[in-house]
Amino acid sequence: MRQTISSDFKLGILGGGQLGKMLCQAASSWDITTCVLDPDSEASASGVSTHFVQGSFRDFDTVMKFAEGLDMITIEIEGVNIEAVEKLEQSGIPVLPQPSCLRIIRDKGLQKLFYLEHDLPTAPFKLFQNASEVRDAINQGQIRLPFVQKIRLSGYDGQGVLIARNEEDLKQLFDVPSLVEDFVEDALEIAVIVSRNANGETSCYPAVEMVFNPVANLVESLLSPARISHQIEKIASALAIKTAEDLGIIGLLAVEFFIDKQNHLLINEVAPRPHNSGHHTIESALTSQYEQHLRAIFGYHPGSTNLKMPAVMVNILGSEGFSGQVIYKGLNEVLMVEGVKLHIYGKKQTRPYRKMGHATILAKTPEEALEKADFVLKTLKVEA
């Protein structure tokens, strides 16, 4: 392969959202030329990539044309045109993570079957073609409330997930191919990001603890390190590494877990790329997840994942009731707090619960970081 750390090396990134933006920023530190493809001409990464191409990463011809002259392709979103990246890989352009991993991961049904085949713990599930099959299974007593229905393709950030608690909720059943799994009661949610390079070297970040906004069903804040026992931390890292090894993935893999009431770890889902649950690593770890992704796809040794300080990450979401040209309120009050680091993604239009940015709050103790994060959430408003 060509020398990667050189301004001659052209890294193509499919997707130009916030993850693409932060990946470009890390690549820039290593003097790598980044070329980003995204349908939105004002995508977050458009201002920081070396070259930006407006076009759909879901379209075969657009992806093929975009890839001309590039030395390697990576992704910041799973929903890319899979046939195109497979063809590019066959033609000799490294595509990392590999399309074979994307094929499994982008389909939540195939993901769950993969966990079963590889003895990876996950909530029991069944696959269905449509809503009437799900209803039949309920009538025949094969599945019982409460349960969770997830569409197999194109779900993200809680879209495409139905938590069905009662008969009334069944009116909302998705009428597309889906999986239905047991509802994990009172689960604690954690995530572990693991990296793996072509030499098989792996490295895990300490687990983070996720706290959800119940209305938007989005991660509202995330604490690093998670408040879990050493024993659970060890099991979670081992499972994350096994998942990455069984997939054979080269790059980052974010593994989301439920910890149930019996303290059992269950894999919820994985993402083959930098992840929301790793944003804090930019400031709080010796190596950011973005640099770690580059190290993995370029075949370098993983960087240290040791933490410098406890941190809380909060998503800066569009406030309810506001849509249109974005205005941020409370910036100065928030920036007066020691340890607050703001990342504004540069999306021009806000709408309720849209991810517009994030803040990482560093403090000496997790409690202090959580307290400050609470202030940031209450003070910073995203209006129009």
**Cβ of 155: how many Cβ atoms within 10 Å?**
16
Is 287 near ligand ADP (CB under 6 A)? no
The reply on whether position 187 binds ligand ADP by CB under 6 A is yes
Helix spans in 248-384 (H): 281-284, 289-298, 331-335, 366-379
| Token duo for residue 88 | 């590019």
- Dihedral sign for Cα 166, 167, 169, 173, please: positive
Q: Which amino acid is at 234?
A: K
| Given 71, 189, 209, 291, the residue binding ligand ADP (CB under 6 A) | 189
- The answer to whether the CB of 42 falls within 8 A of the CB of 17 is no
Q: Does the footprint of ligand ADP cover residue 153 (CB under 6 A)? A: no
State how far the Cα of 268 lies from the Cα of 119, in Å rounded to an integer: 14
Least distance CB 71 / ligand ADP (angstroms): 31
The minimum distance between CB 68 and ligand ADP, in angstroms, equals 32
Long-range contacts of the stretch 50-59 (C-beta < 8 A, 24+): 50/24, 52/16, 57/14, 57/15, 57/81
Chain length of the chain: 384
Q: Does 176 bind ligand ADP (CB under 6 A)?
A: no
* Minimum distance of ligand ADP from residue 302's CB (angstroms): 26
Q: How far is the CB of 59 from ligand ADP (least distance, A)?
A: 23
| Identified binder of ligand ADP from the candidate list 131, 169, 176, 212, rule CB under 6 A | 212
Stretch that binds ligand ADP, among 182-190, 223-231, 241-249, 294-302 (CB under 6 A): 182-190
Name the token pair of 283.
Answer: 């400031």
Tokens coding 90: 């066959």
Q: Which residue is nearest to ligand ADP (CB)?
A: 184
Asked if 46 is part of the footprint of ligand ADP (rule: CB under 6 A), the reply reads: no
Least distance in Å: CB of 355 to ligand ADP?
12
Q: How far apart are CA 8 and CA 142, in angstroms?
A: 58
For residue 159, the minimal CB distance to ligand ADP (Å) is 6
Closest approach, Cβ 260 to ligand ADP, in A, equals 9
- List the alpha helices (DSSP H) in the chain: 18-29, 60-66, 82-90, 99-105, 108-117, 131-139, 230-247, 281-284, 289-298, 331-335, 366-379
- Report the nearest approach of ligand ADP to the CB of residue 122 (Å): 9
Side-chain half-sphere exposure of 261, counting CA atoms within 13 A = 4
What's phi and psi for 338, nearest 5 deg?
-60, 135
* 207 counts as binding ligand ADP under rule CB under 6 A: no
From 24-32, 147-155, 234-242, 330-338, give the range in contact with ligand ADP by CB under 6 A. 147-155
Tell the smallest beta-carbon distance from residue 300 to ligand ADP (Å): 30
Per-residue string for binding with ligand ADP, 228-267, x by CB under 6 A? ----------------------------x-----------
Give backbone dihedrals phi and psi of 328, rounded to 5 degrees, phi first.
-95, 130
Would you count residue 156 as binding ligand ADP (CB under 6 A)?
yes
Residue 79 as a binder of ligand ADP (CB under 6 A): the answer is no
Is 215 a binding residue for ligand ADP by CB under 6 A? The answer is no
Contact 307, 351 (CB under 8 A): no
Counting contacts by CB under 6 A, is residue 158 touching ligand ADP?
A: yes
Among the listed residues 34, 122, 202, 268, the single contact to ligand ADP using CB under 6 A: 268
Contact with ligand ADP (CB under 6 A): which of 153, 161, 211, 307? 161
Among 26, 27, 82, 148, binds ligand ADP (CB under 6 A): 148
**Total of chain residues touching ligand ADP, rule CB under 6 A:** 18
Cβ atoms within 10 Å, residue 124: 12
**Of 24, 77, 80, 123, the one binding ligand ADP by CB under 6 A:** 123
Rounded-to-integer distance, Cα 279 and Cα 252, Å = 13
Pick from 246, 197, 218, 230: nearest CA to 358: 218
Which positions ≥6 away from 144 have C-beta within 8 Å? 138
Residue 110 found at the interface with ligand ADP (CB under 6 A): no
Residue 294 CB, nearest distance to ligand ADP (Å)? 25
Q: What residue ranges bind ligand ADP (CB under 6 A)?
A: 123, 148, 150, 155-158, 161, 181, 183-184, 187, 189, 212, 217, 256, 268-269
